[in-house]
Structure 1
């Protein structure tokens, strides 16, 4: 046996297929794949099996029953579809296959994904928020219609507006509503209508059609043009089941162009009925007011007849004379009281006249001045005596007096330290010796005990 030979890794067929399946799932994950359905098989188990092919290749596909039940699209042979699938391997046979999760028609599927992506983007930016929705005027002065001038939607809108309230002027802003350039044409028509300020509300309308036909109203350009428009916009696009991005951004969504026209215009019959009710209320209210005013007029006329103005003038003249006399008496009484108070206050002021007190203080001033001078002189003499006695005691205790009796003080000139013992000095040290008069500079030659 050759021990140097390398160790072989031997796979079983099941292990190889299982690990290959794991690698395929990990490498590709979930994919969207487009192709044509063929060999469609629907056994009693509820699973669907088919082949997805294009011009150059094909691959087996399996759609299991739980996913097949939730499909909105019914697959058929020859249909061009988009499938979302996991790339895998059927281990028992080693067949490469796709495990399908969902199926969509190829054209509509891409458009629906684009629709959902733009819908989520604009919703995140707040273009659908109710806070941005402008109210639709109840009685607009003008209605604008943004649509194709040759479409059936325009005829439906004009018919409804003419029936409901023909007095409101209608302005048509023609635009292309289908095709690659339709989005820019619609956005331009909306901007022009908003800039002219001729209408209080705009109707954005188009008749029904396939998803591709309505796609211009799912473009971001149109959505942002609607959001930027200061004039309220009613969207009436397609049939009741059709929803576009324009419906979500518009201030009001109507299921059809005719419904949009009804939402934009008041009902003439309702307004006529309202006017009739208001007229009846006005007539009833006016009659009641006129009747009340007539009763008031009759009452005042009767009062005027009973009380002649000349009589009232004489009565008021007499009353005025009486009031003038009362006023005169009140003024006289008030002046007398004020004069009495003034006399009383004058007497009190005279009793408190400060002149006598000032004369008394002026007479006492020289005497007080003499007493103050005498007291100050005595205090000064006392302080001088106390100062002389303290000076005498200080002279007795002063070291200068001791020095004058022949004593001396030795100290170091640099620090001023006083020597109290000969042992504190060092031979050769310079000292200052203070006498009663003057200072001697000395040098220590030697130390002796006393």
Structure 2
């Protein structure tokens, strides 16, 4: 080091950064690094920027688009990954980062990938559909708890239920919650509760733990048992930041077992206050209705009934009289019009009566043999016998000229 940095030499910042860049990049041309992804920031160009960290330190990381295209998973904060790349120093700022060439899941990262694949498969089958969800009972008589009989989660649930409503019963369905035997044990207790219809709602869960500890609640057989349960199920696995696939299949998800107990148990004092409030509302409503009915009944006395009947009858009678007068007046007018019309027709008929014309001195002449009316000399000829019909009688004559 003494040869590289002589004691009396004064360096500029750029010179130091340049020396360090050459030294670091030469020393770490290829490195394999394992850490947890944090502050993941994908770029619109396809480059990915994030931080790799462990419990004590962190390092900036970048994966350029052409390398990121080969990834088989989508990076997320919290994933544990194993990266291969080179250490790069950004000389103007004196900072360094790892430029990643390849990246794969490590440790819990593999579990997260497995869970994500399983979740997608079960979701495609419709196990998480909202239409399958059941409403929790408002006033459950009995709450079933599928969990470890020795865990703190059970103690918390029992304590909260008893504090909120001691009238609500609790049935414990003890099961194994960790390890290879846990999933079948959980399923068996869910099926037992359903087979005998032993409770109104089921809390299925456990206290916090590592991702591996919570795996039984993401097993496919457990998720299917929860989805098929006829009893409403509340999933309560781990702490608020934890999750399991059972959360998606359950009718409700609670962040903790204690929260599940609060979700399922109505507070007795609140229920009583609510009932008393409703009782007061119904009493007031019934009392008001009764008073209204009394006033209505009072108005149905004989005197009031007659008055009300008259008040209804009088307008109808008035309308009837008015209609009768209108009808009579209309009929009278129509009769007058008819009489005038008949008189007019009679006059026309009388004016057309041939006897009236004959009485004025006219006569009608017709051929005796044919009976044809003679209107002009062309209708007869000399020697023809004709009849002359005056107003009275009949004259027979022979045409001479």
CA distance in 2, matches of 1:143, 1:241: 25
**Contact in 2 for aligned 1:143/1:201 (Cα 8 Å):** yes
Which residue does the alignment assign to 1:280? 280
**Contact 1:84–1:101, Cα closer than 8 Å, also in 2:** yes
- Corresponding residue number in structure 2 for 1:160: 160
Who wins on radius of gyration, i.e. which is larger?
Answer: 1
8 Å CA contact retained: 1:183, 1:216: yes
Deviation of residue 196 (structure 1)?
1.2
By how many angstroms is 1:102 displaced? 3.3
Corresponding residue for 2:49? Answer: 69
Q: How many Å apart are 1:122 and its aligned residue?
A: 1.2
Q: Partner residue of 2:36?
A: none
- CA deviation string 1:31-73 (max 9, x = no partner): xxxxxxxxxx99989x9866449xxxxxxxxxxx997832455
Contact 1:154 1:205 in 2 (8 A): no
Distance 1:292 1:51, change over 3 A: closer
In structure 2, distance between residues paired with 1:284 and 1:44 = 85
CA shift in 2, pair 1:278/1:108, >3 Å: same
Alignment of 1:47-446 (within 5 A): 51-52=31-32, 69-71=49-51, 73-74=53-54, 83=82, 100-102=101-103, 104=105, 106-292=106-292
CA distance in 2, matches of 1:200, 1:228: 15
Question: Which runs of no fewer than 5 residues in structure 2 stay unpaired?
Answer: 1-20, 34-41, 58-79, 86-98, 307-401
| Shift of residue 273, structure 1, vs aligned partner | 2.2
Name the CA distance, whole Å, in 2 between partners of 1:152 and 1:100: 46
Residues 42, 48 of structure 1: 8 Å contact kept = no
Distance in 1 (alpha carbons) for counterparts of 2:245 and 2:213: 14
CA 1:230–1:52: 2 relative to 1, 3 Å: same
Greater helix content: 1
TM-score by length of structure 2 reads: 0.52
194 and 71 in structure 1: CA distance in 2 versus 1, 3 angstrom threshold:
farther
Q: CA 1:244 to 1:204, structure 2 compared with 1: closer, same or farther past 3 Å? A: same
Mark the CA change 1:68 to 1:289 in structure 2 (over 3 Å): closer, same or farther.
closer
Classify the secondary structure of the residue corresponding to 2:205: strand
> Is the contact made by 1:71 and 1:102 (CA closer than 8 Å) also made in structure 2?
no
CA distance in 1, matches of 2:22, 2:197: 61
Number of equivalences: 239
Residues 128 and 44 (structure 1), Cα distance of their counterparts in 2 relative to 1, 3 Å cut: farther
- Mapped partners of 2:22, 2:263: distance in 1: 49
RMSD (Å), alpha carbons: 3.7
What secondary structure, in the 3-state scheme, does the structure 2 residue paired with 1:134 have?
A: coil
| Partner Cα distance (2:101, 2:133) in 1 | 42
Q: How far apart, CA to CA, are the structure 2 residues paired with 1:290 and 1:188?
A: 57
Where 1:180 maps in the other structure, the secondary structure is coil
Paired residues of 2:236 and 2:257 also in contact (CA < 8 A)? yes
Unpaired runs of at least 5, structure 1: 1-40, 54-64, 87-97, 308-450
> What SS does structure 1 have at the residue aligned with 2:107?
helix
Aligned-partner SS, 1:269: helix
TM-score (norm: length of structure 1) = 0.47
- 1:112/1:296 CA distance change after superposition, 3 Å: closer
- Measured after TM superposition, the shift of residue 282 of structure 1 is 2.5
Secondary structure at 2:173 match in 1: strand
